Amino acid sequence: MRRVLLLLLVVSVEGRRVRDQHTHTPESFPLDFTAVEGNVEGFMAQVKSLAQSLYPCSSQRLEHQMKLQILKNSSVTCNDGTPAGYYIKESRGSRRWLVFLEGGWYCFSKHTCDSRYESMRRLMSSSNWPPTRTGTGILSPQPEENPHWWNANTVFVPYCSSDVWSGSTPKTDQNDYAFMGSLIIQEVIKELLTKGLDGAKVLLLAGSSAGGTGVLLNLDRVYARLQAEGVFSVQVRGLVDSGWFLDHQQISGGDCRHTLSCAPTDAIRRGVRYWHSVVPERCSRAHDGQDWNCFFGYKVQPTIQSPVFVVQWLFDEAQLTVDNIHLTGQKLQESQWRYIQNLATTLRNTLANVTAMFAPACLSHEIITRSYWTDVHVKGTSLPRALQCWDRSLRHHGNSSAQAPPRGCPLQLIDSCPWPHCNPSCPSVREQQMSAVQFLTQLGFDIQRMAQQQGIEPNTLLGMLNNGT
C-alpha cells in the first residue's frame, strides 16, 4: 500500500511540475493519510525524503524560512509609528494561501499602552523584527509536522497594533499611539494579490488568541476586499484558535489600571473607543451599534458569512486570567473549582451552533502554531485530521457553510469530561510532565468529595480521570 501511495505521489508531483511549464498557478495537493493511519510516521519519513529529492531537480527549491516584507504603504504603521509588515514563504506550485494573525493581548488607555511599551515593545513596534522567521505547527513547511498545509503559501503577520486587529487611527500629535490593526490586514491582502493570491483557490485566514478574535472581526472584510478587486474564485475561510472569549463576570472584581485585571467587557468597551475599532457591519447592526459585543465569538459568529472553524481549549488560561483565576500551584477554593467547571459548561453552550470545532478539555492557551498540535486528540481525532475533514466538506461549496462531512470525518469535536486536563492527550501543564490526577490534586482537587458529588466510587473517578472520560 505504501509503495502504491508513494508512486501516486511521485506521479502527482511530477505531473504538477510538468504543468508548471504551461501555467503559473497549478493547484497544490494536501496529503490524505486515511489509508496509512497505522504507520503515518514511516510514511511521512518517506514523503519527506521524496520531497527533498524532487525539489532540487525542479526550478523551485523548497524554502523553509518566511522572509520579512515591510508594507509599501508607509502610512499604515505599528503603535509607535514604525512600519508594519509581514513574513512570507511563497510556494509557487500551490493555490492555497494561509495568512496567520499573531496574538498577544491588548492595551486600552494611555496608561496601559505606556506600560505595554515598556514591557512588551516587540508587540508595538517593528524596530527589532528579525529578517526571517521559521514556521511551526500549521505554519511549518515540514509535512510530518504539518500534514495538510506544509506546501501552502504561508504568511505570518506580526501583531504590533495592540487593538485585537480592529483599529483604524494613525499616530498624530494628539494620539501617542497608532491603532491600525484592521488597516494592516487590508494592506497585507492588497500586496498579496500582486504575489499570486489573485489566482488562489483557498485563502485560510487564521489566528491565535487576539489574532483569533481578529479573524472573526476581519474575515468577511477580507472576502469583500477580494470581491472589490475582481477576485471571485478564492474560497475565504477562517480558523480561530483560542480567540473565542466569554464576556461573563469575573470571580472577583478587578480594576482597569492594569490590562490583566480589567474584566473583558470593560477592557473592550474602553478599547473600542480608544482604537476607533472597525467591526463587521452585520454584527454592529445586530447589536444596535454596541460594537464591543462583536469581540466575543458567540455574538459575532452568527453574523459571519464565511466558513469558520473554532479551536478552543475548554479551560483557556487567558480566559481564566482575566476572570481572576490564577493557577500558580496554590490550592483552589471550592468556589474557584465551581467557577472553572461552570466556565467549561458555558463555553460548551456557546459552541452549540458552531458547525466546525475542536475543543479539548485542557488547561492551555493557543495550539495551531505549536509543534505538538498534531498530538492532541478529541474523541480519537487529531486537530489536523479535523481540519482536513472541514476542508473536504467545503471543497466544492465556495464560501457557503460546511456541508455534511465524509463518513468517518467528524466536524464537531468537543470533550465531555468535566475537569481541566481530563483529556489524556492534553499538553503537559506549564511544560511539567504530570498526569491529570497529579495536576488536579496539586490544585486541591478532592477526589473523595468530587466522587461523592458525582455519585460514584473514588476509584471509579480516578479511572475516569486517567482515561479521559
120 and 182 co-located in one domain: yes
DSSP state of 54: H
Q: What is the CATH number of the domain that holds 335?
A: 3.40.50
- Residue-wise pLDDT for 26-52, tens only, equals 444 455 555 555 555 556 555 555 554
The 3-state DSSP class for residue 188 equals helix
Stretch 7-31: mean pLDDT: 43
170 and 243 co-located in one domain: yes
**How far is residue 377's CA from residue 128's CA, in Å, rounded to a whole number?**
37
198 and 274 co-located in one domain: yes
15 and 49 co-located in one domain: yes
**How far is residue 314's CA from residue 412's CA, in Å, rounded to a whole number?**
14
15 and 103 co-located in one domain: no
228 and 364 co-located in one domain: yes
- Residue-wise pLDDT for 396-446, tens only, equals 655 555 556 667 788 999 998 877 877 888 886 544 555 566 666 666 666
45 and 166 co-located in one domain: no
Show which of 47, 62, 77 is a domain's final residue: 62
Stretch 278-282: mean pLDDT: 97
Residue 29 lies in domain? 1-62
Q: Look at 239-248, 302-311, 427-436, 449-458 and tell me which has the smallest mean pLDDT.
A: 427-436
DSSP 172-183: -SS-SS-B-HHH
Q: pLDDT value at position 194?
A: 96
Q: Which residues of 184-223 are buried (b: 16+ CB within 10 A; e: fewer)?
A: bbbbbbbbbbeebbeebebbbbbbbbbbbbbbbbbbbbbb
pLDDT band at 464 (very low <50, low <70, confident <90, very high): low
10 and 147 co-located in one domain: no
Among the listed residues 94, 140, 209, 242, the single catalytic one is 209
Among the listed residues 148, 365, 377, 421, the single catalytic one is 365
336 and 397 co-located in one domain: yes
Bridge pairing between strands 202-208 and 153-157: unpaired
Active site residue 365: yes
Contact 414, 357 (CB under 8 A): yes
Active site residue 109: no
**How far is residue 343's CA from residue 10's CA, in Å, rounded to a whole number?**
49
Cell numbers given for 264: 473583558
**How far is residue 126's CA from residue 69's CA, in Å, rounded to a whole number?**
11
170 and 43 co-located in one domain: no
270 and 412 co-located in one domain: yes
- Residue-wise pLDDT for 239-263, tens only, equals 999 999 998 776 666 678 888 778 8
Active site residue 209: yes
Residue whose grid cell is 478529541: 378
462 and 351 co-located in one domain: no
Q: Count the domains in the chain.
A: 3
Q: Look at 82-96, 366-380, 390-404, 414-428 and tell me which has the smallest mean pLDDT.
A: 390-404
